[in-house]
Amino acid sequence: MAESVSLERSEAAQHLALEWAATRVSFTWMGNRRTLDKGQKQEAAEQFGADAAVLSASSKLLDNKHKAYKAVTNAKTTIRNYWIDHTLPYPEDGVRLLRQSDVASFTARMEDLRMRLHGAVIGLENAYQQLREKARRDRGSLFRESDYPATLVGLFDAAWEFPSLAPPEWLLTRNPELYQQQAARIAARFDEAARMAEDAFLAELTGLVQTLQDKLAGKADGVAKRLHDTNVSDLREFFEKFRRLNIHSSEQLDGIVEQAEKALTCNGLFDLGGVSADQLRESPSLRQAVSTRLSAVGAQLDGLMVDRPRRAINRRPKASDGEQE
């Protein structure tokens, strides 16, 4: 079995190297906190009876709970989530893998999301004077005009690129031995990327199945826990993402995902075309049937988790932020 998994992963790694492209997303982002200068720290220390020499403090520039500010941060989150949801992990900080065939649609969508971010920044710019005056009142003597730029336009932005992961061609003629070493290192990284993809899918599915199981299990007195629509829809979105990004590096994982999806698409005598949260809430028998099927899936997931190396399998990707404090 181990040899089979190794072969599947090796083929998946080659597929990644040939058919996928590296992507990197970065943000230009004005920091919203300023470290207090020496005079400000002394003033703050006197208020609390503390020693300024050991005091570390910062002050918030703008109210980040204001709807205009939240619109900007939400736009950033949307961009980052879209990038993550349409790519696979790669063992290099800030880099993920995108199907080469998806580059055009990915770029078009990112351009659209970037324009939405710019629109949110304009909304924040329109509220900037109001927010600055509020900061003047809230920060009191800690307020410094120099902390506030004349305009916010251009201080919040998003960018993406497709960096090459291959060793430079000139190295082949200048230093063939080093070129081969670099090529071998990159091949090993694609093998690790295939493992990371398995780990990420496994961790996400395990969490979603466990959450839904907990909701279906009910309390000790038999009263069902509150089942939210997202408990079912999140699983369905996972199945769609798995189909879109699956590189078939593990036949065992493919089988478990298929079994999990079947647990939500049919129930014995019923062909429901996809069980909904409403149906689960309204039918105790259906809820029990789905719970039983998910328990079997959960047991397989637990077994697969035990077989994984002891490492963090839910490593979150990082998008580079050009924040300045």
Tens digit of each residue's pLDDT (9 = 90 or more) over 11-40: 999 999 999 999 999 999 998 887 666 665
Which residue among 167, 199, 221 closes a domain?
167
Q: Taking the model in full, what pTM does it have?
A: 0.84
- Same domain assignment for residues 72 and 177: no
- Same domain assignment for residues 163 and 174: no
Whether residue 17 is contained in a domain is answered as no
Query: Which residue, 268, 269, 246, 261, is CA-closest to 294?
Result: 261
Whether residue 195 is contained in a domain is answered as yes
- Same domain assignment for residues 163 and 194: no
- Same domain assignment for residues 238 and 223: yes
In DSSP terms, 95 is beta-bridged to 24
- Same domain assignment for residues 158 and 193: no
Which residue among 123, 152, 167 closes a domain?
167
> Is the Cβ–Cβ distance between 145 and 110 less than 8 Å?
no
Q: Which of 112-126, 235-249, 256-270 bottoms out in mean pLDDT, i.e. has the lowest? A: 256-270
Report CA 280 to chain centroid distance, whole Å: 29
- pLDDT tens column, 151-201: 999 999 999 999 999 999 999 999 999 999 999 999 999 999 999 999 999
Which residue among 135, 167, 199 closes a domain?
167
- pLDDT tens column, 29-87: 998 887 666 665 555 555 555 544 544 555 789 999 999 999 999 999 999 999 999 99
Q: Could you tell me the CA-to-CA distances from 224 to 73, 162, 221, 260, 272 in Å, in that order?
A: 36, 48, 9, 21, 22
Asked if pLDDT for residue 120 goes beyond 60, the answer is: yes
* Long-range pairs for 208-214: beta carbons < 8 A, 24 or more residues apart: 208/234, 208/235, 208/238, 209/235, 209/260, 209/294, 209/297, 209/298, 209/301, 210/298, 212/294, 213/291, 213/294, 213/295, 213/298
- Same domain assignment for residues 184 and 301: yes
Domain that holds residue 136: 22-167
Cα 210 to Cα 299: distance, rounded to the nearest angstrom: 10
Whether residue 147 is contained in a domain is answered as yes
Query: Which residue, 318, 313, 289, is CA-closest to 301?
Result: 313
Number of domains in the chain: 2
pLDDT more than 90, % of the chain: 64
